[in-house]
Structure 1
């Protein structure tokens, strides 16, 4: 995923103070009013805390309670880990860089960019795996337990993280070899991705996943509708008069969950990728991509709500965790389903 520098080294001395006053090659801070900075820091810090807190609850719940040790929940756990890292690593660093100054050095900048590519790609990959899992569960229920085993799910999760790591290394190969290769002044943290690499990133982390997720969602929705029609036809054959038939709960839940996934993923991702395409055409300046980047990060705050808050077991585990009953003997054996 392409990253843009938020600092502008062409500012005049009156427009912003130096990041490193003792250095003749220092970048300049982006001028921000006190009121604007207070509002932005408060808002972004709140989003960061919620992202970390919610995903940490998911991780603890699935890891601790044995009733939740299922194949589907393994995927939810992997997703929660990637989203937790977005909140724990990427969001704080982005807040830290709000004034356009990077004080942690070139090596930390390279690692920050690497972890950004890694966790966002892993988050998207985990969403695809969850969509596949729900598709098999709804569309091929008779063969679900034969096809979806704990071993296969763990292998898929490992491959997802390995692929995300390789993708990040490939995109950042120049930066990892020479951390300050793209920096033009001291205190800058910037990554430049050429057009070809940007197109690969666009396909790998946006177009391909959204096509797979959308296709699987449409198939799940189609199965739910066909089952509803079959039930209506069967009941109508033995019942006189109009009959109200509902779609089975499990299928409807899967359809709603995947539908929310597609909608939120599109809402959070489309603005950023539209921006990057426009930036390649010189329609926008690079420094204007900060809001779009935060919108992608915000998706990691929404994911636990979409995937977990819909399930009653999560409310039970949260109550046990927050009331500290989790520290009781054999709390891992508690019935939460």
Structure 2
């Protein structure tokens, strides 16, 4: 008959080699289950709508929207793969083996770092569009953007290999007992390549973008009454670019609010333990950005709201729906 001590072990037959169960209170575990499940479903669904919208409607096949499409793909994978696997860490023991444990962290680092790099590309896109509009069409052609997106994902795969190399070479080497899922990152590399460089680039680029946007907005207000027709068209284009920059600026601000706290805690030297409330909150904050992005599009992008309406009502199944005007 199983003793009380054995019932507290993840693998009772391994005796002292097994980890002990450290179960959460039932109410707390159920709350996390329900919350993560709902957010996972919402994240995957909303980002799938973004993917279908940009992929289906020809009018949305712009360079900027291709970057938004790449961002939506990474966010969709977070909702489809990362969040459901995060639920497994709620359990007091890890039963899926050392290799799956390592791969569990490998996939999130690819998708999350892809979101970061895509944000950098979006910031560069807006910087060129606002600060050097005459060279934008050639610099950010669709062919060039597709190449950048491909390089972005290849870089994220290599980046994940680098920071998880020790764990991939020997899965489970950092576990102290059977039933744990512990990995050790290359902290310096992760901090520099995953946070300091991309976040600094995003902030510097958007400070410059908003400075130029404010200057152009003032110039347009003072001269709009005196411009000729050709000049008027140029003003309209610039207003459109500035509006797009402001909208994407909101996305960047939300991104920084979600990504900065976990790294700031790491920089402070505070040791996070898997399973603690603070660790769970920081992970939740990090992953919630993937759900917030499409919500931002819903409120700030009229084309997204119209596209969603056409998708939900199945009008995209009609002939020539790809040519429908959604702007």
**TM range, smaller chain:** 0.7 to 0.9
State the shift of 1:309 in Å: 4.3
Which residue pairs with 2:271 in the alignment?
A: 284
**Unaligned regions of 5+ residues in structure 1, if any?**
1-12, 239-247
Q: State the match for 1:123 in structure 2.
A: 115
For 1:164 and 1:200, locate their aligned partners in 2 and report how far apart those are by CA, in whole Å.
13
Return the alpha-carbon distance in structure 2 between the equivalents of residues 120 and 208 of structure 1: 15
2:26 aligned to which of 11, 18, 34: 34
* Separation in 2, partners of 1:229, 1:150: 31
Residue 201 of structure 2 aligns with which residue? Answer: 212
Q: 2:162 matched to 1:170?
A: yes
In the TM superposition, 1:51-90 aligns within 5 A as 51-90=43-82
Q: For residues 166 and 23 of structure 1, what CA distance do their matches in structure 2 show?
A: 37
Aligned residue-pair number: 312
In the alignment, does 2:268 pair up with 1:253? Answer: no
Q: Which range is displaced more, 14-23 or 81-90?
A: 14-23
Distance 1:320 1:261, change over 3 A: closer
Partners in 2 of 1:237 and 1:319 — Cα distance? Answer: 40
| 1:227 lines up with 2:216 in the alignment | yes
Deviation, structure 1 residue 77 = 0.8
Q: CA deviation at 1:169?
A: 0.5
Match of 2:105 in 1: 113
**What TM-score comes out, normalization by structure 2 length?**
0.87
Offset at 1:56?
Answer: 0.8
Structure 2 segments unaligned to the other structure (5+ residues): 228-237
The two structures, once aligned, show a CA RMSD in angstroms of: 2.6
Measure, in 1, the Cα distance between the counterparts of 2:6 and 2:131: 60
SS in 2 for 1:23: helix
CA distance in 1, matches of 2:243, 2:225: 25
1:321 CA drift (Å): 1.4
258-267 or 134-143: bigger deviation:
258-267
Offset of residue 336 of structure 1: 1.5
**Any residues of structure 2 matched to 1:1-337 within 5 Å, and which?**
17-24=8-15, 25-193=17-185, 197-234=186-223, 249-278=239-268, 281=269, 283-287=270-274, 288=276, 289-307=279-297, 309-337=299-327
Q: Distance in 2 between matches of 1:271 and 1:14?
A: 39
Change (3 A) 1:183 1:315: same
When the two structures are superposed, what TM-score results if normalisation uses the length of structure 1?
A: 0.84
**Normalized per residue, which structure has more helix?**
2
Change (3 A) 1:100 1:143: same
Q: 1:325 to 1:255 in 2, by over 3 A?
A: closer
Cα distance in 2, alignment partners of residues 14 and 249 from structure 1? 69
